[in-house]
Amino acid sequence: MAAIKVHGNPLSTASMRVLATVYEKEIDHEFVFVDMRAGEHKKEHFLSFNPFGQVPALEDGDLKLFESRAINKYIACEYAVKGTQLIYQDSKKMAITSVWMEVEAQQYDPAASKLGWELAIKPLLGMSTDTAVVEENEAKLAKVLDVYESRLAQSKYLGGDCFTLADLHHLPTLHYLFGTQVKKHFDSRPHVSAWVADITARPAWLKVLALLSQQ
Protein backbone atom coordinates (compact mmCIF):
# COMPACT_ATOMS: atom_id res chain seq x y z
CA MET A 1 0.00 0.00 0.00
CA ALA A 2 1.06 3.57 -0.63
CA ALA A 3 2.62 5.31 2.35
CA ILE A 4 0.59 8.45 1.72
CA LYS A 5 -3.20 8.60 1.64
CA VAL A 6 -5.05 11.70 0.49
CA HIS A 7 -8.66 11.76 1.67
CA GLY A 8 -10.63 14.20 -0.44
CA ASN A 9 -12.98 15.00 -3.28
CA PRO A 10 -11.72 16.19 -6.69
CA LEU A 11 -14.47 18.83 -6.86
CA SER A 12 -13.04 20.51 -3.75
CA THR A 13 -10.54 23.29 -4.45
CA ALA A 14 -8.60 22.37 -1.30
CA SER A 15 -8.37 18.71 -2.40
CA MET A 16 -7.26 19.81 -5.87
CA ARG A 17 -4.52 21.91 -4.25
CA VAL A 18 -3.06 18.89 -2.43
CA LEU A 19 -3.39 16.57 -5.41
CA ALA A 20 -1.47 19.05 -7.57
CA THR A 21 1.36 18.98 -5.04
CA VAL A 22 1.41 15.18 -4.82
CA TYR A 23 1.59 14.94 -8.62
CA GLU A 24 4.32 17.62 -8.82
CA LYS A 25 6.36 15.67 -6.25
CA GLU A 26 5.75 12.37 -8.08
CA ILE A 27 4.87 10.65 -4.82
CA ASP A 28 3.30 7.21 -4.70
CA HIS A 29 -0.07 7.76 -3.05
CA GLU A 30 -3.59 6.48 -2.59
CA PHE A 31 -6.51 8.81 -3.20
CA VAL A 32 -9.40 8.00 -0.85
CA PHE A 33 -12.62 9.45 -2.28
CA VAL A 34 -14.81 11.23 0.29
CA ASP A 35 -18.45 11.36 -0.82
CA MET A 36 -19.44 14.80 0.37
CA ARG A 37 -22.97 14.50 -1.05
CA ALA A 38 -23.50 11.56 1.30
CA GLY A 39 -22.02 13.60 4.14
CA GLU A 40 -19.02 11.33 4.66
CA HIS A 41 -16.87 14.31 5.65
CA LYS A 42 -19.12 14.91 8.67
CA LYS A 43 -19.08 11.32 9.93
CA GLU A 44 -17.03 10.01 12.83
CA HIS A 45 -14.43 8.21 10.72
CA PHE A 46 -13.47 11.32 8.74
CA LEU A 47 -13.72 13.59 11.78
CA SER A 48 -10.85 11.58 13.25
CA PHE A 49 -8.72 13.09 10.46
CA ASN A 50 -10.20 16.60 10.51
CA PRO A 51 -12.40 17.62 13.45
CA PHE A 52 -13.83 20.46 11.34
CA GLY A 53 -15.24 18.01 8.82
CA GLN A 54 -13.60 19.49 5.74
CA VAL A 55 -11.57 17.84 2.98
CA PRO A 56 -8.78 17.08 2.38
CA ALA A 57 -6.88 15.15 5.00
CA LEU A 58 -3.51 13.43 4.71
CA GLU A 59 -2.13 10.25 6.23
CA ASP A 60 1.58 9.58 6.03
CA GLY A 61 2.36 6.63 8.26
CA ASP A 62 1.18 7.62 11.74
CA LEU A 63 1.01 11.31 10.82
CA LYS A 64 -2.42 12.83 10.17
CA LEU A 65 -2.79 16.35 8.80
CA PHE A 66 -5.55 18.64 7.61
CA GLU A 67 -5.66 22.13 6.01
CA SER A 68 -4.48 21.96 2.40
CA ARG A 69 -1.74 24.58 2.56
CA ALA A 70 -0.24 23.02 5.69
CA ILE A 71 -0.35 19.61 4.01
CA ASN A 72 1.44 21.02 0.98
CA LYS A 73 4.19 22.60 3.07
CA TYR A 74 4.76 19.25 4.77
CA ILE A 75 4.89 17.35 1.47
CA ALA A 76 7.28 19.90 -0.07
CA CYS A 77 9.63 19.67 2.92
CA GLU A 78 9.40 15.95 3.70
CA TYR A 79 9.80 14.91 0.06
CA ALA A 80 12.12 17.73 -0.98
CA VAL A 81 14.37 15.44 -3.03
CA LYS A 82 11.52 14.11 -5.15
CA GLY A 83 9.88 15.68 -8.20
CA THR A 84 9.51 19.43 -8.57
CA GLN A 85 11.26 21.57 -5.98
CA LEU A 86 8.27 23.57 -4.71
CA ILE A 87 10.18 25.38 -1.99
CA TYR A 88 13.63 26.97 -1.71
CA GLN A 89 16.38 25.70 0.57
CA ASP A 90 17.89 29.20 0.68
CA SER A 91 16.26 30.96 3.64
CA LYS A 92 16.04 34.39 2.01
CA LYS A 93 14.50 33.03 -1.21
CA MET A 94 12.10 30.96 0.86
CA ALA A 95 11.15 34.03 2.88
CA ILE A 96 10.08 35.78 -0.32
CA THR A 97 8.14 32.71 -1.44
CA SER A 98 6.45 32.58 1.96
CA VAL A 99 5.32 36.18 1.56
CA TRP A 100 3.56 35.34 -1.70
CA MET A 101 2.09 32.18 -0.22
CA GLU A 102 0.54 34.42 2.41
CA VAL A 103 -0.65 36.86 -0.24
CA GLU A 104 -2.45 34.01 -2.00
CA ALA A 105 -4.12 32.85 1.21
CA GLN A 106 -4.94 36.25 2.72
CA GLN A 107 -5.45 38.61 -0.25
CA TYR A 108 -6.24 36.57 -3.36
CA ASP A 109 -8.18 33.56 -2.12
CA PRO A 110 -10.94 35.28 -0.10
CA ALA A 111 -12.14 37.21 -3.16
CA ALA A 112 -11.42 34.42 -5.65
CA SER A 113 -13.25 31.79 -3.61
CA LYS A 114 -16.32 33.99 -3.15
CA LEU A 115 -16.41 34.67 -6.88
CA GLY A 116 -15.99 30.99 -7.68
CA TRP A 117 -18.89 30.15 -5.36
CA GLU A 118 -21.19 32.82 -6.76
CA LEU A 119 -20.38 32.42 -10.46
CA ALA A 120 -19.36 28.78 -10.90
CA ILE A 121 -20.77 26.67 -8.08
CA LYS A 122 -24.13 28.32 -7.33
CA PRO A 123 -25.38 28.00 -10.94
CA LEU A 124 -24.54 24.28 -10.85
CA LEU A 125 -26.64 23.92 -7.72
CA GLY A 126 -29.55 25.88 -9.16
CA MET A 127 -28.96 28.77 -6.76
CA SER A 128 -29.17 32.47 -7.59
CA THR A 129 -25.96 34.50 -7.89
CA ASP A 130 -25.66 37.48 -5.55
CA THR A 131 -24.63 40.27 -7.92
CA ALA A 132 -23.65 42.59 -5.06
CA VAL A 133 -21.18 40.02 -3.73
CA VAL A 134 -19.80 39.52 -7.24
CA GLU A 135 -19.32 43.23 -7.81
CA GLU A 136 -17.61 43.76 -4.46
CA ASN A 137 -15.21 40.86 -4.89
CA GLU A 138 -14.42 41.55 -8.53
CA ALA A 139 -13.15 44.95 -7.40
CA LYS A 140 -11.09 43.33 -4.63
CA LEU A 141 -9.64 40.74 -7.00
CA ALA A 142 -8.76 43.40 -9.58
CA LYS A 143 -6.66 45.25 -6.98
CA VAL A 144 -4.81 42.04 -6.09
CA LEU A 145 -4.17 41.31 -9.76
CA ASP A 146 -2.71 44.79 -10.21
CA VAL A 147 -0.14 43.87 -7.56
CA TYR A 148 0.46 40.54 -9.30
CA GLU A 149 0.99 42.28 -12.65
CA SER A 150 3.68 44.46 -11.09
CA ARG A 151 5.34 41.50 -9.38
CA LEU A 152 5.26 39.28 -12.47
CA ALA A 153 6.79 42.05 -14.58
CA GLN A 154 9.90 41.57 -12.41
CA SER A 155 9.78 37.83 -11.71
CA LYS A 156 8.69 34.85 -13.83
CA TYR A 157 6.78 33.37 -10.89
CA LEU A 158 5.33 34.95 -7.77
CA GLY A 159 7.84 33.38 -5.41
CA GLY A 160 10.91 33.86 -7.62
CA ASP A 161 12.45 32.41 -10.75
CA CYS A 162 11.03 28.93 -10.16
CA PHE A 163 7.52 27.49 -9.85
CA THR A 164 6.69 27.06 -6.15
CA LEU A 165 3.76 26.53 -3.81
CA ALA A 166 3.09 30.27 -4.07
CA ASP A 167 2.00 29.68 -7.67
CA LEU A 168 0.51 26.21 -7.30
CA HIS A 169 -1.94 27.27 -4.59
CA HIS A 170 -3.78 29.46 -7.13
CA LEU A 171 -4.59 26.63 -9.54
CA PRO A 172 -7.92 25.35 -8.16
CA THR A 173 -9.63 28.74 -7.99
CA LEU A 174 -8.23 29.67 -11.41
CA HIS A 175 -9.89 26.57 -12.82
CA TYR A 176 -13.33 27.64 -11.66
CA LEU A 177 -12.91 31.36 -12.37
CA PHE A 178 -11.79 30.83 -15.96
CA GLY A 179 -15.24 29.55 -16.83
CA THR A 180 -16.78 32.85 -15.71
CA GLN A 181 -16.79 36.56 -16.53
CA VAL A 182 -13.88 37.02 -14.12
CA LYS A 183 -11.46 35.59 -16.70
CA LYS A 184 -11.28 39.05 -18.31
CA HIS A 185 -9.42 40.42 -15.28
CA PHE A 186 -6.60 37.93 -15.82
CA ASP A 187 -6.56 38.25 -19.61
CA SER A 188 -6.30 42.05 -19.51
CA ARG A 189 -3.03 41.94 -17.58
CA PRO A 190 -0.30 40.58 -19.90
CA HIS A 191 2.14 39.33 -17.26
CA VAL A 192 -0.65 37.75 -15.22
CA SER A 193 -2.07 36.18 -18.37
CA ALA A 194 1.29 34.66 -19.33
CA TRP A 195 1.78 33.36 -15.79
CA VAL A 196 -1.66 31.72 -15.78
CA ALA A 197 -1.00 30.09 -19.17
CA ASP A 198 2.29 28.73 -17.84
CA ILE A 199 1.11 27.25 -14.55
CA THR A 200 -2.18 25.82 -15.86
CA ALA A 201 -0.33 23.88 -18.58
CA ARG A 202 1.83 21.95 -16.11
CA PRO A 203 1.54 18.15 -16.52
CA ALA A 204 0.80 17.66 -12.81
CA TRP A 205 -2.15 20.05 -13.00
CA LEU A 206 -3.46 18.33 -16.12
CA LYS A 207 -3.52 15.07 -14.13
CA VAL A 208 -5.71 16.77 -11.52
CA LEU A 209 -8.08 17.97 -14.24
CA ALA A 210 -8.21 14.46 -15.72
CA LEU A 211 -9.26 13.12 -12.33
CA LEU A 212 -11.85 15.89 -12.03
CA SER A 213 -13.32 15.05 -15.44
CA GLN A 214 -14.11 11.54 -14.20
CA GLN A 215 -16.48 12.86 -11.56
Could you report how far apart the first and last alpha carbons of the chain are, in Å?
Answer: 24
Helix or strand holding residue 38 (H, E): none
Residue 80 CA neighbour count, 13 Å, CB half: 8
Give CA angle at 178 (130, 143), nearest 5°. Answer: 70
**β-strand pairing of 4-8 with 57-60:** antiparallel
Instruction: Identify the CA nearest to 159 among candidates 92, 71, 76.
Output: 92
The pTM of this model reads: 0.94
Mind listing the pLDDT tens digit of every residue in the chain (215 residues)? 458 999 999 889 999 999 999 999 999 999 998 887 787 888 888 888 888 988 999 999 999 999 999 999 999 999 999 999 999 999 999 999 999 999 999 999 999 999 999 999 999 889 999 999 999 999 999 999 999 999 999 999 999 999 999 999 999 999 999 999 999 999 999 999 999 999 999 999 999 999 988 86
Which of 152, 167, 155 has the alpha carbon at shortest distance from 21?
A: 167
Dihedral (CA of 96, 67, 1, 202) sign: negative
